[in-house]
Amino acid sequence: MPAFPKKWLWVVLILAFGVPLLQPILPDAVSNYRLFLVSTMIIAAIAVLGLNLLTGFNGQISLGHGAFYAVGAYTAAILMDKLDVPYYATLPAAAVVCFAVGYLFGLPALKLEGHYLALATFALALAVPQILKYKWLEDLTGGVQGIVLSKPEVPFGLPLNEDQWLYYYCLVTMIVLFWAANNMLNSRSGRAMMAIRDHYMAADTMGINTARYKTVTFGISAAYTGIAGALSASAIAFVAPDSFNLFLSIKFLIGLVVGGVGSLTGSVVGGIFYVLVDNSAQAISTFIKNDLGLQFDISAYTIFGVLLILLMYLMPQGIVGGVYVLVRRFRRG
Amino acid sequence: MKSSRRSFVAGASAAALSGKAAFAQNKYEDGVSDTEIRIGNTNPYSGPASAYAAIGKTIDAYFKSVNEAGGINGRKVKFISMDDGYVPSKTVEVVREMVESAKIFALFQPLGTPCNNAIQKYMNTRKVPQLFVATGASKWGDPANFPWTMGYQPDYHTEAVIYARHALATVKDAKIGVLSQNDDYGRDYVGGLKEGLGKEVGRIVRSVTFEATDPTVDSQIIQLKDSGANVFMNFSGPKAAAQGIRKAADLHWKPVHYLNNISASVAAVMKPAGYENAQGIITAAYLMDATDAQWSDHAEMKTWSAWMDKWMPGANKADANHIYAYGVSFLMTETLKRCGSELTRANLMKQAAGFQKFRVPLLLPGINVSTSPTDFYPIQAVQLERFKGETWDLFGDIMHAESS
């Protein structure tokens, strides 16, 4: 899939940095709540990017990325809660911890392909919330009660409020991570990753150390998702095992498939999609019930499901792939 | 807004600062107008905890019935209830939406311990009431640190303390076996039990847990029987509780059996477990059970039953969540009513903290709601009851437990 055109990238970036500053002029359109919502989209986009590096670019499937997200969130939360580490220092820490966990999980996963790997990662997603509740870890993790944190404070006396600062913090992190991912994918290592995805045996024959690439990709992928988890701990200012249920992992996968497998832009679109559709599905559900006054309950999940099926029919390659096909057809016609 | 020119400047700057109009007599804050009071709520309408959705639906129906009867002091309640799926991070998201975008006046009955944990700091920073929360944890009555958060029901911790003390006082040479669900609610009970036993904590000979999703608790019951326990502390949800009672009877294990009150439903637990197997079980209750024949002629129960027929047609009346939600909605309506025309958040908390032996329907006779500026635990009393025949038999005094 093609890269995002450069000149548009600058437009998007300028908008992303400029619009929140319009808050004094447009207090309703640029409300704190919306900035917070966009921050959660950014966090989701980073998590989906992590999964995309593994699934989209390296061809390994994972149904358990919620586990790495949880490990990242808890790493950040414990560092802030027990050791008073400043919030920005938790990101590299979460990245290192998650890289280690992902790498170690990647070693036995080498022997597993396709469905078997899917099941193994699925088990990981099931196990992590239980482990977080485990009584020996309770002093550290707060058990089922979770850990209450403080929101990131605005540094250097900048004239921003908490939500604006959180937004910029997430945005800058995302840009750095996407830039790094883009560079990696366009390097020798990136090509090796994709070669393994496209034809494992051929890549092996070409002299690529497939085992090492696969485990390291697992580690990097986990690190990306872990950073997203650490950001979410700061944004929500609370972690608890119930926040990291199995459905979280499925949501990342939905974001990945809907946005576009193997596309950096697709990761952003996927992140936006799942936050947006998740919220609007509920809004549509209450709208049907309260405002249209229909006498039957349509649950938010039904609407979410219908939207998903429609999208998969209309854009089987994900939103980015679908838009690309449309643009090409339009140009040709 | 009518105003003189002089007051206009002050009024306009006040309005610009706070975004609300200053009226002559009525004092309003966000979410209140002459015709409407906006009340927010979170409930798990989806996900594994969705059995609790009955509470949100009953509250919704209750406010509809209040609105039909003319509303509260002439204002209609707009009840906005959002699904958080029992996921705390989602709770934060939807609560922020309700507070900042939908501009609710107060949050009422948000459900779930982790979900309330996640928003408590935010609500108190924002000074938006988080009123009568739907959780059995013991931490919601802390007005010194969280003046905008108030609990409602007796907490699990205190209930377990009561069982522990009763067992120590009445069972000779007690050896206690504990069955508990492996989550926050189960742990609260076990924590309370240990506290209630105090120095006698060594009397717990075996403590086993199960997951809410486990199909049976047979192996746990066998383990408990093998431990030689003569007291059975059964801290499990309705399904597991019924299975546990039946299995214990099948094994001819006859301990003194304490059952947590969330599983005290006659129709949902005792009947499927078999009345003959359930004789003598002890629980501590604060609500009437709709499926217990002794209450069927009680005036409040009749009113409730007729209300259910009209406003919740087709709902399962044996589900205790309906009783619970009806009572707490009644209390919320009364609290709003007492605010009169001074609908400020501070006044709402003041009224909520000003109940003196107030009768909420369907609480057990003799149990009332009492609060004060330093007491944010509305219901603290429970009464022990023992299962006899096909109904619960109240015994002993009403116990007023001071929560820790």
DSSP per position, B79-97 = EEEEE-TT-HHHHHHHHHI
Residues A63, A288 contacting (CB under 8 angstroms): no
Contact B118 A37 (CB under 8 A): no
With CA atoms as reference, report the closest residue to B141 among B151, B131, B132.
B151
- Residue B23 and residue A109: Cα distance in Å, rounded? 68
State whether B101 and A282 contact (CB < 8 Å). no
Is there a contact between B83 and B45 (Cβ–Cβ < 8 Å)? yes
Q: Which residues of chain B have a CB within 8 Å of the CB of A36? A: 93, 96
Last residue of a domain, one of B285, B312, B331: B285
* Partners of B208 in beta bridges: B179
Model ipTM value: 0.84
Q: B199 to each of B160, B162, B190, B224, how far by Cα in Å?
A: 16, 15, 15, 22
* Overall domain count for chain B: 2
- Which residues numbered 116-145 in B keep a CB inside 8 Å of some CB on A? 117-118, 120-122
* CA A43 – CA A173 distance, rounded (Å): 9
pTM listed for this prediction: 0.83
B88 inside 8 A of chain A by CB: yes
Choose, out of B64, B77, B89, the residue to mutate when testing the contact with A (most A CBs < 10 Å).
B89
* Structural domain contains residue B10: no
Is B400 part of a structural domain of the chain?
A: no
User: Which candidate, A128, A137, A165, A142, places its Cα nearest to that of A39?
Assistant: A165
Q: Are residues B88 and B129 in the same domain?
A: yes
For A23-82, write each residue's pLDDT tens digit. Answer: 888 877 888 888 999 999 999 999 999 999 999 999 998 999 999 999 999 999 999 999
Residue B114 in contact with partner chain A when CB distance is under 8 A: yes
Q: A296 falls in which pLDDT band (50, 70, 90)?
A: low
Q: Taking residues A153-179, what's their average pLDDT?
A: 90
Provide the pLDDT confidence category of residue B6 given band limits of 50, 70 and 90.
Answer: very low
By the CB < 8 Å criterion, does A148 face chain B?
yes
User: In the predicted model, is pLDDT for residue B16 greater than 70?
Assistant: no
Confirm whether B69 is domain-assigned: yes
Kind of pairing, strands B231-235 and B256-259? parallel
Average pLDDT in the B329-334 region?
96
B107 and B142 assigned to the same domain? yes
The percent of residues above 70 in pLDDT, for chain A, comes to 97
Decide if B366 is inside a domain: yes
Look at residue B163 and tell me whether its pLDDT is greater than 70: yes
B336 shares a domain with B228: no
Region B198-218: what's the mean pLDDT?
Answer: 88
Q: What percent of chain B has pLDDT over 90?
A: 62
Task: Considering only the beta carbons, identify the residue of A33, A144, A242 that sits closest to B96.
Answer: A33
Q: What is the mean pLDDT of residues B214-243?
A: 91
Nearest CB neighbour to A242, from listed B86, B96, B122: B86
B145 and B160 both lie in a single domain:
no
* Average pLDDT in chain A: 88
Query: Would the CB atoms of B88 and A40 count as touching at under 8 Å?
Result: no
Give the residue carrying structure tokens 């009332």. Answer: B368
Residue of A nearest to B99 (CA): A33
- Give yes or no for B302 touching A (CB within 8 A): no
CA of B95: which chain A residue's CA is closest? Answer: A33
Is B22 a domain residue?
no
Q: Count Cβ–Cβ pairs < 8 Å, chain A vs chain B.
A: 82
Considering only residues B46 and A289, tell me which one the structure prediction assigns the higher pLDDT.
B46
What pLDDT shows up at residue A226?
96
Run of H or E including B400: strand B391-400
Give the pLDDT of residue A159. 83
pLDDT classification of B24: cutoffs 50, 70, 90: very low
| Residue range A6-332, CATH number | 1.10.3470
- What DSSP element (H or E) covers A173? helix A162-185
Question: Is the confidence at residue B5, as pLDDT, over 90?
Answer: no
Q: What ranges do the domains of chain A cover?
A: 6-332
Question: In terms of CA atoms, which chain B residue is nearest residue A39?
Answer: B93
Residue B98 shares a structural domain with residue B190:
no
What is the extent of the structural domain holding B243? 156-285
Structure confidence at residue B14 (pLDDT): 45
**Residues B256, B272: one domain?**
yes
Chain A nearest-CA residue for B60: A290
**Domain termination residue (choose one: B261, B285, B309):** B285
Domain boundary among B224, B250, B285: B285
Record: contact A240-B100, CB cut-off 8 A: no
Whole-number pLDDT of residue B4:
47
Residues B275 and B306 in one domain: no
- Supply the angle between the helices A318-332 and A246-259 in degrees, to the nearest 10: 10
The answer on B346 and B266 residing in a single domain is no
Q: Which secondary structure element, helix H or strand E, spans residue B383, and what is its range?
A: strand B381-388
- Testing the interface with A: which of B63, B97, B194, B211 to mutate, by most A Cβ within 10 A? B97
Q: Are residues B148 and B161 in the same domain?
A: no
A287 has a chain B CB within 8 A of its CB: no
For the ranges A301-315, B298-312, B346-360, the lowest mean pLDDT is seen at A301-315
Domain identity same for B105 and B148: yes
Q: Residue B401: which pLDDT band, with cuts at 50, 70 and 90?
A: low
How many angstroms separate the CA atoms of B233 and B159, rounded?
Answer: 12
In a domain, B13, yes or no: no
The answer to whether residue B343 sits within a structural domain is yes
Distance CA(A56)–CA(A49), nearest Å, equals: 9
Q: For residue A276, is pLDDT > 80?
A: yes
Residue A316 class from Cβ within 10 Å (0-12 exposed, 13-18 middle, 19+ buried)?
exposed
pLDDT score at A1: 52
Q: 3-state DSSP call for residue B214? A: coil
Cβ–Cβ below 8 Å for B96 and A31 = no
Residues B273 and B307 in one domain: no
Any chain A CB within 8 A of the CB of B45? yes
- A300/B101 CB distance under 8 A: no
Residues A109-120: tens digit of each pLDDT = 888 877 888 899
- The b/e string for A110-145 (b: 16+ C-beta within 10 A; e otherwise) is eeeeeeebbebbbebbbebbebbbeeeeeeebbbbb
Q: Cβ B88–A240 below 8 Å, yes or no?
A: yes
Inform me whether the C-beta atom of residue A322 falls under 8 Å from chain B C-beta atoms: no
Query: DSSP letters of B330-344?
Result: HHHHHHHHHHTTEE-
Q: Residue B70, Cβ neighbours under 10 Å: how many?
A: 10
Chain A interface includes B312 (CB < 8 A): no
A190 pLDDT above the threshold of 90: yes
Predicted local distance difference test score (pLDDT) of residue A294: 66
Residue range A312-317: mean pLDDT, rounded: 86
Do the chains contact at A33 and B100, CB–CB below 8 Å? yes
Measured in angstroms, the CA of A240 and the nearest CA of chain B are apart by 7
Band (A138; pLDDT cuts 50, 70, 90): confident
Check whether residue B129 and residue B235 sit in a common domain. no
Cβ contact (<8 Å) for B82 and A282? yes
Pair B212, B86: CB distance under 8 Å? no
Collect all residues of chain A within an 8 Å Cβ-Cβ radius of residue B101.
Answer: 31, 33
Q: Distance from A282 to chain B by nearest Cα, in Å? A: 8
Determine the pLDDT at residue B124.
Answer: 95
- Does B401 map to a domain? no
pLDDT digit string (tens) for B102-118? 899 999 999 988 899 99
Question: What per-residue confidence (pLDDT) applies to B3?
Answer: 44
